[in-house]
Amino acid sequence: MSSIPKLSTQAIRALAGEQTFQRGEQYFRNGAIFNPLRQGMILRAYCEGSRADPYRLQVNFDATGVAGAICSCPMGRQMVKGYYCKHVVALLLTWQEQPEKFVELEDLETMLERRSKAELIDLIKYIFQQQPEFEWLLVTSLPTDHKRKMTVDPEIYSSQVDAAFDSGGHEWDAVYGISSDLYGIMDIASGFARQNDYANAAIIYEVVAMETLGHYFSYHDEDGALGRVVQDCVEKLGGCLGSLQEDKAAREKIIQTIFSIYRFDVDKGGYGFTDEIPLELVQHTTPEEKRIIAGWVEAALSEIQGGGLSDNWHRRRYGGLLLALEAETLSDEEYLRIGHETGRVYEVVNRLLERGRVDEAARETEQADERYLLKLADLFVHYGQNTAIEHVMQERARQAQRTYIAEWLKKYYLDRNNTAAALEIAELIFRKWPRLEGYQEIRELATQLGTWETRRQALLTFLETSQETRMLAEVALDERELDKALELLKLLRASSQNRGYGQPSTSDYGYYNVALRAAKAAEETRPDAAIEIYRQYVETLINQKGRGSYQEACRYLLSIRGLYEKLGESETWAGYIADLRQRYSRLRALKEELAAAKL
């Protein structure tokens, strides 16, 4: 029997990540692994988990270590190295520390060859008595190495998909067990594909995908377990389509299935069962097949009559596929017409740039919705039409309320070492959305150009005129003008109270985010000011209530005590804490936290 390579604890940790490793280690310590088996380079076991039924898991080894793993838990079918589940971790730790628990089995083929035909029949009967749900395997062909080929019966697999849903129940987590059973059926299809029997593989993938869609809305698929089954079927069908070059009937059925899944996805509002433009229908189809699919798409488009948001979304989805299918056969004007009618502005601009019609592309971009603008701008750069897009983006950046267009333009200039232009855009962004990071960036760029002092005064004037007191305080603190920052914070707090807001709350970014940093900076030279801010914050936390708030209040009380002691005012501290205890004597949780902090 081949020797399984030894795995260190660190190697197991690397296979799953720290958090998953810790959970798996706890499963191992709790003895969740049972009935462990070793068969050559394979480990199998069951693991108690969150579901009523235990999880089934298997780890395959090669000469270098773990080659792959499967678990019937929700993430088990999507596992790759670095993402093994906690149940696999528990199994590997069991093998590492308690290998004597594993029952040694010979290779399956060796054990079966030793049995007579009568013994094998009796064995199969016994297995089906224990696991009657597998009896269906007797009535269908399976992937084997034998020459005899049979076409699988789709009805048999359809019944098994239905059985997976029927036996899975309708609990909130039922989709995980169901998807595991569906992947088990898909494994048979994968077996056919490995033997280059893509026609039979495709039949099974088609059945699993379409039957799953038939059940889909009867289940709660929050994490997308069933959706991933359909996605994987579509991907596998694409592979079959790419390999079945001569089987016209099989190809037609695959194409119909993929399009049916695509149309189901679009008509239901977009669940992600296929890509927006399924590559399987574009890359693996002949020109004749593309024309047939295009006819189906045109029929779907003709059914959309309204002009609402939903109608336009559906037009856009179908339009994207239609243009992808007919990109090589449509005239430019026909292509552009369909692009306009279906709202595919990206494809329209791309076609125009491809044909050198830059002015038209720029006009299209000027009118485009903001959500498409960055991708369109990247298109111009791709085609080397930088000057044209600069003008468009500059205009749109000034008009837009949000700043992401200007951010794109700033990066564009920085990537090209155009510091002066980047500085102008950075200031435009700052005036739309004043932030300390923006101020610092302007300072860095303007310093490079030797214009910082002039810029600085203009920015401060803008902030004063706009009554951006919080921002002025942040700037003063950043420029180490502590006294100015403290005075501005007093103004900010007074302004808040004068407007009837009372004491700033702990979530008030406009005050405490800056005030606490100012207090920390003031501890050495202005301890009185630091104490005042910390006291305000402590009382705000206490008034907010909740053990978390009380714990944070205690941390700041410790800072206040340290400052009073440094000032030689221990009596003032004692009086303050006594007053605090008296005023909030009714708050039991606060008392406990104060006692725990020894305050």
The mean-pLDDT minimum among 150-164, 236-250, 473-487 falls in 150-164
Distance CA 132, CA 134 (A): 5
568: left (phi over 0), alpha (psi -120 to 50) or beta: left
The mean-pLDDT minimum among 16-20, 210-214, 364-368, 419-423 falls in 16-20
Tokens representing residue 500 in the block: 């009837």
- Please state, as a whole number, how many other Cβ atoms lie within 10 Å of the Cβ of residue 201: 28
CA torsion sign, 87 to 92 to 94 to 97?
Answer: negative
Query: pLDDT grade, residue 500 (50/70/90)?
Result: very low
**DSSP class of 210:** H
Least Cα distance to 517 among 563, 470, 457 occurs for 470
Asked whether the beta carbons of 27 and 86 are under 8 A apart, the reply is yes
State mean pLDDT over 82-93: 88
What contacts 317, CB < 8 A, 6 or more positions away?
A: 266, 270, 276
Q: How many residues make up the chain in this entry?
A: 599
Span 162-175, pLDDT tens digits = 988 988 888 877 88
Specify the DSSP element, H or E, that contains 509.
Answer: none
pTM over 0.95: no
Q: Which pLDDT score, from 0 to 100, does residue 109 have?
A: 72
Span 278-334, pLDDT tens digits = 999 999 999 999 999 999 999 999 999 988 999 999 999 999 999 999 999 999 999
Residue 80 has pLDDT above 90, yes or no: no
Mean pLDDT score of the chain, rounded to an integer? 89
Distance CA 18, CA 387 (A): 50
Q: H helices of 216-286, where?
A: 225-243, 248-267, 279-283
CA torsion sign, 384 to 388 to 394 to 395?
Answer: negative
Asked whether the beta carbons of 152 and 202 are under 8 A apart, the reply is no
